């Protein structure tokens, strides 16, 4: 298919589609650091910048993609809803649909949108597409299907000519997630949390975050089997999204290098996009036995479809595949950063006051790491210590 990528970020979605054989004809991405990445990595594909300046799609576009802004829909954001200043930009998707009538539309966003404001964001999306004569299906897909990165995102597919359920709602796998064992494999968590949650993940990292609006990164921590607590190098963070190492390096030519973390945190996991791209080329056949109850109102389920008449929940997991993968510890290719004395001490202070339950031995590991980095603080290269606020 010929693709138009709106709100493209660093092109993770389009890169995955490229790997499945599709071609991108045009991008729309307004943020200069992301635009610098697109220019370097997709040389020759024009970027029109602001989506508002795009009057119509190229005539031969088959598939319009849009990872529209999630700030107003995210649980970590302002939760203003789909009519918020950022997420409300999805209105341009409908404007361009009305002008160009692409045969297929693929949207991506945070899974919290299914619950925010009683599911009003998804209600608006499906209503807008139904009014325009599109069939649709959506599914929460977890990047853990392909990578040691737990990241659940909604993928919404609509079509004028095919059944999106034959693309999104056919493949289903049983995840082989390991149990927590601090001796056998690494564990990811967020050192910036500890009071209300932790984002704990056996042999995986929790969802990569965007970082602050001024470029302060917020990488996850990883407790290694040797007891060290580290944060991944940016190149491994890119790889944990399925991007090649140094994919976002061109952004450092137009802004501070730390903003690369925001670009990676905002990106679409490339292997998920590649799986969808392959199914677009070779659809399966949806099994109606997966249909559940009709969706009437309220919070939306993790997967649903419309047969053109009735909206129904679909009984399917977040895991279309379960790819063979290295352990998280072996996945890391680049020297990680030791979590600093200041960051570790702040985290330890929070978890010691917290009422949360922690894995037996975890607090001891944190205390031991604190003593470890205190002992080597004056000897190790400064670049190996993550200097961060509590």
Q: What is the CATH number of the domain that holds 287?
A: 3.40.50.150
Q: How confident is the model at residue 378 (pLDDT cuts 50, 70, 90)?
A: low
pLDDT mean over 48-74:
82
Answer yes or no: is pLDDT of 216 > 60.
yes
Which parts of 272-384 are beta strand (E)? 291-294, 303-306, 311-314, 337-339
Residues with Cβ within 8 Å of 174's Cβ and at least 6 positions away in sequence, in order, are 317, 319, 322
Whether 296 is in a domain gets the answer yes
Q: How confident is the model at residue 69 (pLDDT cuts 50, 70, 90)?
A: low
Number of domains in the chain: 1
Whether 254 is in a domain gets the answer no
Answer yes or no: is pLDDT of 213 > 80.
no
Q: How confident is the model at residue 79 (pLDDT cuts 50, 70, 90)?
A: very low
pLDDT (0 to 100) of residue 84: 43
Q: Is 204 considered catalytic here? A: no
Answer yes or no: is pLDDT of 293 > 70.
yes
Neighbours of 49 (CB within 10 A): 15
Whether 294 is in a domain gets the answer yes
As a whole number of angstroms, the distance between CA 358 and CA 362 comes to 7
As a whole number of angstroms, the distance between CA 25 and CA 44 comes to 9
pLDDT mean over 263-277:
97
Q: Are the C-beta atoms of 301 and 292 separated by less than 8 Å?
A: yes
As a whole number of angstroms, the distance between CA 109 and CA 123 comes to 14
Q: Are the C-beta atoms of 32 and 289 separated by less than 8 Å?
A: no
Backbone torsion region of residue 21, taken as left when φ is above 0, otherwise alpha when ψ lies between -120 and 50, otherwise beta: left
Q: pTM for the complete prediction?
A: 0.91
Q: How confident is the model at residue 117 (pLDDT cuts 50, 70, 90)?
A: confident
pLDDT (0 to 100) of residue 386: 54
Whether 325 is in a domain gets the answer no
Answer yes or no: is pLDDT of 27 > 60.
yes
Q: How confident is the model at residue 74 (pLDDT cuts 50, 70, 90)?
A: very low
Answer yes or no: is pLDDT of 120 > 80.
yes
Whether 289 is in a domain gets the answer yes
Q: Are the C-beta atoms of 171 and 275 separated by less than 8 Å?
A: yes
Whether 147 is in a domain gets the answer yes
Q: Are the C-beta atoms of 227 and 365 separated by less than 8 Å?
A: yes
pLDDT (0 to 100) of residue 384: 54
Residues with Cβ within 8 Å of 29's Cβ and at least 6 positions away in sequence, in order, are 5, 7, 8, 9, 35, 38, 47, 49
Q: How confident is the model at residue 382 (pLDDT cuts 50, 70, 90)?
A: low
Answer yes or no: is pLDDT of 215 > 90.
no
pLDDT (0 to 100) of residue 118: 79
Which run of H or of E encompasses 17? helix 12-19
Whether 138 is in a domain gets the answer yes
pLDDT mean over 86-96:
76
- Per-residue DSSP letter, 259: G
List the catalytic residue out of 1, 17, 34, 70.
70
Q: Are the C-beta atoms of 16 and 270 separated by less than 8 Å?
A: yes
As a whole number of angstroms, the distance between CA 231 and CA 350 comes to 19
Domain range for 293 is: 2-176+268-314
pLDDT mean over 200-210:
95
- Per-residue DSSP letter, 41: H
């Amino acid at each position: 298919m010929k693709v138009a990528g709106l709100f493209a970020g660093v092109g993770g979605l389009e890169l995955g589609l490229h790997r499945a054989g599709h071609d991108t004809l045009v991008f729309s991405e307004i943020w200069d650091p992301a635009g610098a990445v697109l220019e370097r990595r997709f040389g020759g594909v024009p970027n029109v910048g602001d989506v508002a300046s795009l009057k119509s799609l190229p005539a031969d576009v088959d598939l319009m993609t849009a990872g529209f802004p999630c700030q107003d829909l995210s649980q970590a954001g302002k939760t203003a809803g789909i009519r918020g200043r950022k997420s409300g930009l999805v209105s341009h998707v409908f404007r361009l649909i009305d002008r160009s009538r692409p045969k297929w539309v693929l949207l991506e966003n945070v899974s919290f949108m299914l619950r925010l404001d009683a599911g009003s964001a998804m209600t608006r999306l499906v209503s807008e597409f139904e009014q325009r004569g599109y069939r649709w299906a959506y599914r929460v897909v977890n990047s853990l299907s392909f990578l040691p990165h737990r990241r659940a995102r909604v993928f919404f597919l609509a079509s004028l000519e095919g059944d999106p359920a034959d693309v999104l709602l056919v493949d289903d796998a049983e995840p082989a997630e390991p149990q927590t064992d601090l001796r056998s494999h690494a564990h990811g968590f967020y050192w910036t949390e500890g009071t209300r949650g932790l984002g704990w993940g056996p042999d995986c990292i929790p969802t990569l975050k965007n970082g602050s609006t001024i470029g302060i990164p917020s990488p996850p921590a990883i407790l290694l089997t040797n007891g060290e607590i580290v944060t991944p190098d940016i190149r491994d963070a890119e790889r944990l999204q399925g991007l090649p190492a140094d994919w976002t390096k061109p952004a450092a030519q137009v802004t501070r290098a730390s903003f690369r973390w925001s670009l990676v945190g905002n990106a679409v996991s490339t292997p998920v996009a590649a799986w969808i791209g392959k199914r677009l080329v070779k659809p399966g056949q949806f099994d109606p036995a997966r249909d559940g109850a009709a969706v009437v109102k309220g919070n939306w389920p993790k997967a649903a479809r419309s047969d053109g008449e009735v909206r129904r929940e679909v009984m399917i997991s977040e895991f279309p595949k379960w790819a063979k993968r290295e352990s998280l510890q072996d996945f890391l290719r680049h020297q990680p950063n030791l979590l600093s004395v200041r960051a570790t001490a702040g985290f330890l202070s929070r978890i010691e006051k917290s009422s949360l339950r922690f894995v037996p031995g975890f607090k001891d590991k944190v205390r031991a790491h604190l003593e470890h980095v205190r002992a080597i603080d004056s000897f190790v290269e400064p670049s190996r210590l993550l200097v961060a606020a509590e």
